[in-house]
Structure 1
Amino acid sequence: MAPPPDRPIILELVVRSAHPALLEGLDVWLRLGLLSDETVRQVCEENLVCAIRQPVAVSSQVENDFLTELPPVAAEQPLTDIAARDSPLPRPRGWLAQITQSFMAELSVVWLLFLGVFMVVVSSGVLAASQWRNFSPVGQYGILLGYTLAFWLVSVLTGRRPNLRLTSHMVQIATLLLIPVNFWMMDSFRLSQSISGFSLVAIAAPLLTLVIFSLLKPTPTEPGNTRLILGTAIVLAWLQWGWGWRGFPLVATYVGTIVASLALVYQDRGVGGGDWGVGNRGDGGDGEVEEEGEVGTSSIPIPHPPSHTSHPTPHTPHPTPLSSGFITVAFSVLLLLARAVFVAKVPITRLGLAAGICGWLLCWLSRRNVAHAIWSQVGAGLLLVGWFVAVMVTPPWQAIAISGLGLWLLGDYLLRSGQASYLLAGWLVGLQTVWLLWRIIPPNWQQQLIDTGIQLAGSIAMPAALLGLWFFPYLLLTVFLAFRLRRWQRLDLAKQAELLALGLGIVLAALSSGNSLVRSLNLVLSTLTLAAVVISRRTRPEVPLIYLTHATGLGAIVACIHQIFPNLSLNTWASVFLAGTLIEWVFSALGEGRGQGAEVRGQRGEWRGEGGEERGITGDTETRGHGDTETPQPPPPHPHPPTPHPGTNPPGTSALPWQPSATCS
């Protein structure tokens, strides 16, 4: 056979470029002559080369209207090194210089621009006020309209220059703040009553609406300006119309507050990724956290509290609320409230809910960003002010609504952080809400309920004893909350809720103790509640809980006997207690016998199970023996003593009557 011709062989080698032996292998193949020097260079240039970062001149020009451009600095050399090399050592300064420097550090160009615009507006207003009487209402509003359009024109012209962006932004905000004032003045001057005024209004209203549209249209530089915010700003401006109608100022204020809140919350939901404060569901978001071998329905587990902060940690990036759209909507709502209180003379007690909604909105928008804690504090203050204002009104519907908003916020904070302080605060808010629910009942109905209670239970300790029954549903709600917290594996919060329920139950029992019938009902309901808690536990309940349930049940029995037979003598009561003691002993003996019987049955079942297996093997042997008769031998003794079956009591112990004992057949 002839040898194969000497032809090149194509080998395809797949190897990672970061392999530690790649260069060594190429060098070996090069020395063996399997690769040429050109091939090695080509492979290295194509696969083993990374781009070298060249020093690029970086301009440190700040987007500021008053700062000049600094000399370019190489990107590879940090600015801190240059400052440390060129600047002399700092000399000690006095306390006045330090305070001045700290104050100047807090100031920014944005606030300086805002201060300048504000001074221009105020000075122009003072100048116009000095000559205000020389103009008719149409002329007065014409000055305001021209002033607003001049601001808008300046914002358009400065917006075309890149180095005047901050100035343009501040002038735009000033224009947007002047537009609701324009609609207020159009309604206040009653311009529609004259032909010239109506013509001016017909031109100004659409023109100002177009100005709002041009300034709040969605742009990449203003992510907070959406179509929803644009529509909300237009609605809030037009709500300044019609305040001459009776009752419209209150309606316009609440409509504007609610519309603004819904718009900002919906925008916050879209920006924040749909986070409505339900917490992190973890990896298996569809199933509930298993507790003690139990698998339940889907629920929301509460996270454990973070150790580094006392506020909810933000889950997603959130833009600053100080966008032009947010400022416009917030100012428009505040303008509606100020006009309703100071101009339309709406009673402040009717605006408590509006203040509460504004406070809730600030807390909700700042809940994901710890840097906006000041907004949360201001919102909490507005919530409290609104509640104090509304609680003086009867019926307190506004105070109940504010309490609901507060519970919403506290529940959201609890789900986010898992801190016990939010649970306590929410429980207290819910407790006062139950009191407010009593106040919404008309006074004549309240008196009828009290009279009915006195007829059924007598006048002793009335009507204070009825509080032990009125607040009892809230006690059941607290117990249910503790049950759900245990299912969510938050034992610390569950124990706190149980302690709150225990404290409330003791207080309600003390309030009910003065009246015999109410006391009996309270103790019976408390016994049933404690029994339900004991039965719902998947593991053996705590000994104090068992003793508390037992004692409450005995107290309920004694209270019911006293209610039915109020004139029993001491000898009769002694007989009752003796009979109760005998019944307790009988139940204890039956429980002990049931526990020992379950243990014996478990041992026999285990013995029979092993013996059955051996008899089955013996039967197989007999079958294979084809009729051979053998006397069946008893099973050999168990090499180890049988282990008690789970759920049975050890020998010599007694089972409680309410403790189920497991049997094995």
Structure 2
Amino acid sequence: MSSPKGRSSKIEFSVLASHPELLTGLDAWLRLGLISPAEVEQLCRQYLVCPIPEPAVALSEIDDRQSSPISEPKVPALATQKALPRTTKNVVERAETPQTPTFASQILQSLIAEISVVWLLFLGVFMVVVSSGVLAASQWEKFPAAGQYGVLLAYTLTFWAIGSWAKKQPNLHLTAQTLQEVTLLLVPINFWAMDTFGLWKYPWDWAVAIVAAFILTWITRRIIKDQYQSLWGKNVTTSIALNHLGLSYLHWGWGFPGFALAAVYLGTVGTTAATVYQVQQQRVQSITRGGNTETSAAAFSSSRDFLTYRKAALVAYSLGILLGRAIFVKDVNIHEMGLALGICGVLLAWLDWPQSLASGTTRNNISNEPNPGNFFNWQLAGGGLLGLGWLVCFREIPLQAIAISALAVWFFYNRLVRFWQKLDLLMLFAVGLQSIWLVWRVVPLGIKTQFVAFLTQLTNSGQTPWAFWGVLLLPYLI
């Protein structure tokens, strides 16, 4: 005899919570409509998870729940084979997942906060550097030259003093590091200002310039020592400091005819020599540290890479100040600076490679895939300066263009060995081809005439003199 409709029966049973078929049985009951999703969730919360704190509920929500009855979700008695297992899985996942912030979200929030601080500091640095450039390039008439320069020196020392104080505070390391970087960026501006204000006319002004130079030299040496010596040693640190100070001292004496151009070439060649020396020293240190553990070596490599890019930015800035003053302030003939621009381009591109060069890595133990971030920054900037240097001098001074072509061959050869890209091979071919044209331009006319006559006689191409170019270019094509 069948039971009447609507009549419910209460069934109680005991089962181990660790039984492997428990969830399968609950899923079968849910599929048959013998149990509701709310009851499954209640069972999971009560027996299948550890106790978790209940989510906080506002008083207004509690009042609303007390005033209005809670309606249980209604599901069909029979569900599809696909949907119901997903429902059970979602119920179990909701029961097992605590409502706490994930580690990834905490890292993201910290990163966003750090980026905000960095951008604010960068904005301050930008405003200080721009205002310093305006101060160095302008001429005040209300104050003597020593007083005009004293303003710039005063707030340079203020930045250094605040940075030194912040370095001793436990929570201001980023601020201290930024202020120290600002001080280093202001050092070339100070020497530019001393030369622009003409602190060579009176003995008192001479004394101010000497004292300021001594103070700035001591500050630069101390900041660079604090930042780099712990990882790169005394020799590399001294080289970095001397290079930065050399690029700063080269701003003196631009009133003498021709010294501006000489200062630019001394700065570019000297910086290249200093960089070669630093890379050699880093290679020695990498070999010395080869016996370290993997963890310490990885930490050292990460810190060294960070300082490498900071050093590269400092070198690029100092050379940019030197070139910018020569081109835009002193009106040096741009055609005469083509080779200097090319050297700066190769140097900027090379500053992206010292990690692999310092450790002695080759094609056999580095990745063949290029780093897009690095390519579109340092290497792109270096290649652009190479091309600009060639453009400004290939008509007027072809000898400089030939030298730039040799630098371009080195640049693209190193990229080809490192990345093995077809574009680099094509550029090598193009640079070599135009180099032949440049060499032909600098050959004296008498030698050209004799050479053409010899090739014409050799190839019997009197009627078609252009055919001897095939003989000339055949070895290059091979």
TM range (shorter): 0.5 to 0.7
Equivalences for residues 257-276 of structure 1 within 5 A: 257-271=268-282
Q: Deviations over 1:575-625 (max 9, x none)?
A: xxxxxxxxxxxxxxxxxxxxxxxxxxxxxxxxxxxxxxxxxxxxxxxxxxx
- Assess, with a 3 A threshold, how the Cα gap between structure 1 residues 420 and 202 changes in structure 2: closer, same or farther: closer
Match of 2:390 among 387, 392, 405: 387
Q: Residues 344 and 382 of structure 2 are in contact (CA less than 8 Å); yes or no, is this contact kept in structure 1? A: yes
Q: Residues 359 and 380 of structure 1 are in contact (CA less than 8 Å); yes or no, is this contact kept in structure 2? A: yes
- Compute the displacement of 1:253 (Å): 0.3
- Compute the displacement of 1:257 (Å): 1.0
- Alignment pair present for 1:355 and 2:341: yes
Q: Residue in 1 aligned with 2:77?
A: none
Equivalences for residues 104-115 of structure 1 within 5 A: 107-115=115-123
- Assess, with a 3 A threshold, how the Cα gap between structure 1 residues 470 and 129 changes in structure 2: closer, same or farther: closer
- Assess, with a 3 A threshold, how the Cα gap between structure 1 residues 411 and 178 changes in structure 2: closer, same or farther: same
Equivalences for residues 113-152 of structure 1 within 5 A: 113-120=121-128, 122=130, 132-152=140-160
Match of 1:242 among 235, 249, 253: 253
TM-score (norm 2): 0.63
Match of 2:211 among 203, 206, 224: 203
Q: Residue in 2 aligned with 1:569?
A: none
Q: Residue in 1 aligned with 2:448?
A: 446
Q: Deviations over 1:358-397 (max 9, x none)?
A: 2212222224582422222222222222222222224x12
Equivalences for residues 426-505 of structure 1 within 5 A: 426-450=428-452, 459-462=462-465, 464-475=466-477, 478=478
Note the aligned Cα RMSD (angstroms): 3.5
Aligned counterparts of 1:161 and 1:184: Cα–Cα separation in 2: 33
Match of 2:350 among 364, 367, 370: 364
What's the % identity of the aligned pairs?
42
Aligned counterparts of 2:393 and 2:143: Cα–Cα separation in 1: 43
Q: Deviations over 1:268-319 (max 9, x none)?
A: 34435699xxxxxxxxxxxxxxxxxxxxxxxxxxxxxxxxxxxxxxxx8761
- Supply the AA of the counterpart residue of 2:266: V
Q: Residue in 2 aligned with 1:415?
A: 417
Q: Residue in 1 aligned with 2:190?
A: 182
**Bigger-Rg structure (1/2):** 1
- Compute the displacement of 1:239 (Å): 0.9
Q: Deviations over 1:621-658 (max 9, x none)?
A: xxxxxxxxxxxxxxxxxxxxxxxxxxxxxxxxxxxxxx
- Assess, with a 3 A threshold, how the Cα gap between structure 1 residues 127 and 389 changes in structure 2: closer, same or farther: closer
Q: Residues 264 and 326 of structure 2 are in contact (CA less than 8 Å); yes or no, is this contact kept in structure 1? A: yes
Q: Which sections of structure 1, spanning at least 5 residues, go unmatched?
A: 1-81, 89-100, 276-315, 479-665
Q: Deviations over 1:126-170 (max 9, x none)?
A: 799999331121211111121211222112111111211111111
Q: Residues 216 and 325 of structure 1 are in contact (CA less than 8 Å); yes or no, is this contact kept in structure 2? A: no
- Assess, with a 3 A threshold, how the Cα gap between structure 1 residues 86 and 204 changes in structure 2: closer, same or farther: same
Q: Residues 137 and 189 of structure 1 are in contact (CA less than 8 Å); yes or no, is this contact kept in structure 2? A: yes
- Supply the AA of the counterpart residue of 1:355: L
Q: Residue in 2 aligned with 1:298?
A: none
Aligned counterparts of 1:241 and 1:130: Cα–Cα separation in 2: 17
Q: Residues 230 and 325 of structure 1 are in contact (CA less than 8 Å); yes or no, is this contact kept in structure 2? A: no
- Assess, with a 3 A threshold, how the Cα gap between structure 1 residues 376 and 182 changes in structure 2: closer, same or farther: same
Tell me the secondary structure at the aligned position of residue 144 of structure 1.
helix
Aligned counterparts of 2:249 and 2:457: Cα–Cα separation in 1: 58
- Assess, with a 3 A threshold, how the Cα gap between structure 1 residues 441 and 386 changes in structure 2: closer, same or farther: same
- Assess, with a 3 A threshold, how the Cα gap between structure 1 residues 127 and 227 changes in structure 2: closer, same or farther: closer
Aligned counterparts of 1:271 and 1:434: Cα–Cα separation in 2: 37
Q: Deviations over 1:410-442 (max 9, x none)?
A: 222333344444333322222222222112213
Q: Which sections of structure 2, spanning at least 5 residues, go unmatched?
A: 1-95, 103-108, 287-300, 357-369
Q: Residues 243 and 274 of structure 2 are in contact (CA less than 8 Å); yes or no, is this contact kept in structure 1? A: yes
Match of 1:345 among 323, 331, 335: 331
Match of 2:223 among 215, 219, 237: 215
- Assess, with a 3 A threshold, how the Cα gap between structure 1 residues 455 and 413 changes in structure 2: closer, same or farther: closer
- Compute the displacement of 1:338 (Å): 0.6
- Compute the displacement of 1:120 (Å): 4.7
TM-score (norm 1): 0.46
Tell me the secondary structure at the aligned position of residue 132 of structure 1.
coil
Equivalences for residues 605-620 of structure 1 within 5 A: none
Q: Residue in 2 aligned with 1:227?
A: 238
Aligned counterparts of 1:120 and 1:455: Cα–Cα separation in 2: 69
- Compute the displacement of 1:252 (Å): 0.9
- Assess, with a 3 A threshold, how the Cα gap between structure 1 residues 403 and 146 changes in structure 2: closer, same or farther: same
Q: Residues 363 and 375 of structure 1 are in contact (CA less than 8 Å); yes or no, is this contact kept in structure 2? A: yes
Q: Residue in 1 aligned with 2:305?
A: 319
Aligned counterparts of 1:381 and 1:274: Cα–Cα separation in 2: 32
Instruction: Report which of the two has the higher share of helix.
Output: 2
- Supply the AA of the counterpart residue of 1:349: H
